[in-house]
Amino acid sequence: MKQKLTKQVLKDKLRPWLRALTNPHLLISLAIAWFITNGWAYCAAGFGWYLDIPVLLHVGSVWLGILWMPGTPEKLFTFGIAMGILRLMFPDDTRTLAMVRRKRKQLTERTRLEWQRFRARISKKKDAPEPEQPDSEKQEGQK
């Protein structure tokens, strides 16, 4: 049975995420990762426009256009790069890294269970016997 979404339940679910995401080490890592994936394009477009360098303006604008398209996986790459930077720059930040490991383990387990359920449904459909045809259709098929 699903739990009712109340104000307290929402607070309890958001509190660990908010604590982890407002960690100064993670914020520094996210800022560096964001600049690696996106920030350079904003700077390139700005400097290209200000200094009248068309190549810089066009390269930055094209990348920004790609970033603003719906469905770009840029956020995933940015967060992955941030986790790598966090591990390199702040290896002793056990709180954030432990939370990330715990959430990754939960996600892996949930994905594994969903995959098993999906495979069970598929195999159940394959193993199900075909419905028998009525006698009248069998006779018509033989003629």
Record the tokens describing residue 141, joined without a space.
């098929």
How many angstroms separate the most distant Cα atoms in the chain? 85
Write the pLDDT tens digit of every residue in 45-85: 999 999 999 999 999 999 999 998 888 888 889 988 998 99
Whole-prediction pTM value?
Answer: 0.63
Q: Of 88, 108, 89, nearest to 100 (Cα)? A: 108
Instruction: Find out whether 63 and 46 touch, Cβ atoms under 8 Å.
Output: no
Residue type, 11: K
- Please state, in angstroms and rounded to a whole number, the distance separating the CA atoms of residues 36 and 81: 9
Residue extents of the structural domains in the chain: 20-91
Residue 113: alpha-carbon gap to chain centroid: 18
Write the pLDDT tens digit of every residue in 76-110: 899 889 989 988 998 888 777 788 788 889 889 99
